Copies of this chain bind each other. A is one copy, B any other.
Amino acid sequence: MPFSLHQGDALMVMATLPDQAVDCVITDPPYNSGGRTTTERTSRTARAKYVSGGVRHHLADFDGENKDQHSYGYWLTLNLTEAYRLSKPGSPALIFTDWRQVSTTADALQAAGWTWQGIATWHKPAARPRKGGLRQDSEYIVWGTKGRIAASQNPVYLPGLYSASQPRKDRQHITQKPLAVMRQLVRICPPGGTVLDFCCGSGSTGVAALQQGLDFIGIEMSPHYAGIARSRLETALNQTTGPDDLGLAGPEEQ
């Protein structure tokens, strides 16, 4: 089972999966951020918030961007609690977030039972400058482990800072992450393990996981993006497995 992809609500889908099925959680939930007031944050769509006026690309909108701060923390806690149940002891969880939601994300992670281990930084060199102040050119990765870190199972030494611009060419999702970053991050998963992304969007986490020889479970609410993810995952799988592996295990249909 190199990968399985589920289209549906993350909580509902995770409820159907067995305990300790995965070795690592890496996800990039909708930030519910991007506005100074509650009204600005909750009444606009993702496209209105995250795409500059006048930009002409035709990327689809995505849902899940209408929670206030309290509700977002609650929603994230519920999901991380389910993800905790699905994880083996010692497994890491890596959650992308932006500066406004770092506190909420760290709280939700710990509320869900994870031991908070740190914050890593994804630096976007091409971010927009800011007059009179400090450019906000980073997003953050709040990470923790289920109990003690299982360092002996996977003695990697990963950086705490990743610098890469958002994909421009062939971008499928408004907030798509660079594969170069994701390929590094999935190395936190022990060899041969399974990576879970319960907000997988266009599936970059899964593509990186398959490229590194890991298994992947992805969940995406939007049928549009689930379709894109499936197509990208299948392409990645074909590129990483030779003809002699065919028939061993195809993508599991949902």
Contacts and interface: CB of A to CB of B under 8 A. Distances in A.
Interface in A103-123: 103, 106-107, 117-121, 123
B106 A135 contact: no
Contacts of A99: 118-119
A15 interface: no
Count of identical protomers in the assembly: 2
Nearest to A185: B134
Given A119-B138, A123-B121, A138-B121, A130 B157 contact: yes
Interface residues of A, number: 42
Nearest to A107: B103
A18 interface: no
B129 A157 contact: yes
A161 to B, nearest CB: 5
A102 B97 CA distance: 14
A137 B157 contact: no
A150 interface: yes
A154 interface: yes
A92 interface: yes
A134 B155 contact: no
